[in-house]
Structure 1
Amino acid sequence: WGDSPVDGWTRSAQVAQAVLQIAMAGDGNPDEEDWLVLHLHGTQIVQDPGLARCMYGGFVWPAALTLCSYLESAPMAQKLQNLRVLELGAGCGLVGLVAARLGAQVTLTDQEGMMAHLRRNVNRNAQAAPVDDVRVL
């Protein structure tokens, strides 16, 4: 990932852009076997290409990867212990799941159309990154 956080962030952004291109490709009728499972920042995030085509929360944005790298940096990771975190428009849930893995008490929110996708990712990471609540915004 490089020698500095900036190198890591640049690489993370490149990965996110590649995933977005893959998610936007296809026949327009993705089913479960078309979903991508990304292993990012100690979590497993499901990417549903169907959602990526029509909803902003259906894929991981480069900014989310950059924020996760920042949260995992030594000064921030220690500060997250037992803090309350409210993520508005959590989408796939990556940032909130990383905060939960680092010890924050996390509530994730999004629109009704994203709830099944968000809950799928929360359930997939329940042991490593327990989230306190998932709500419709």
Structure 2
Amino acid sequence: MECGIDVVIKNRCYFGNGSKLKVGNYSQLGQNSRLGGPIEIGDYVMMGPDVVIMGVTHDVSNPKKNMIDETNPSIEDPVHIGDNVWLGTRVVILPGVTLGNNCIVGAGAVVTKSFSDNSVIGGVPAKIISFRESVITS
């Protein structure tokens, strides 16, 4: 949909036709990463390899319906990633998450909820580890 200037897309990164992806200036999409659905990535975002960001999910509201038979499985729930964010290796970000500016997400974290600016998060599910106190601005 939109791609900023000086964006780096590492090899084997998959995002389909990109019609629902917006990437800010000077950001990089990590090697082997997979991005699906409506996703907005800010400026100066650094992404490690094997990151998964999903802005779509399946309708699981009817337990009597076989999930495999779902005719329209995709429910969009956009993901927003702020500026100056670092996503470590193999981070998974689930639908509906917003990460504020200057966040750091530790390797292997599964992010199931949103976090505010300057958060340092990690774990499964991800939780606050600390906050960044001094932020470099460009």
What is the TM-score normalised by the length of structure 2? 0.26
Choose 1 or 2 for highest CA Rg: 2
Looking at secondary structure, tell me which structure has more strand per residue.
2
Looking at secondary structure, tell me which structure has more helix per residue.
1
What is the TM-score normalised by the length of structure 1? 0.26
Higher relative contact order (CA 8 A, sep 6+): 1
